[in-house]
Amino acid sequence: MSYRHQVRIVSDILLAVKEGHEDGVGVAQLMRKANISYTRLVKILNELISVGLIEEIRSERSKRYRITYLGLEYLAEYERFSTFAKNFGLEI
């Protein structure tokens, strides 16, 4: 069994947010797409909000999340580094 590192989990969450609706993505959808528990997801979402990679959109009934420009840059750099690492036989 292969475990995901924190960097990979963050990337999976950001990718799920990016692929979501332009009005944002809810927690349940993120849990499914990123394959992560609610408790861990909420902790990581709070960290991602605090560093500006995603933004929280609040309505009367729910919270939704949308990726920021900085989050898109993070994903692009992650993909670039991931490709670089794979070329040397490394897995991140």
**C-alpha distances in Å from residue 68, one per residue of 2, 51, 91:** 30, 11, 27
Q: What pTM, to 2 d.p., does this model score?
A: 0.89
pLDDT tens digits, one per residue of 49-66: 999 999 999 988 889 999
Q: Domains, the chain, ranges and CATH?
A: 6-87 (1.10.10.10)
Q: What is the dihedral of CA 38, 43, 47, 52, to 10 degrees?
A: 30
For the stretch 1-50, pLDDT in tens is 467 889 999 999 999 999 988 889 999 999 999 999 999 999 999 999 99
**By the 8 A CB rule, do 12 and 79 touch?**
no
Q: Report the alpha-carbon distance of residue 88 to residue 22 in Å, rounded.
A: 36
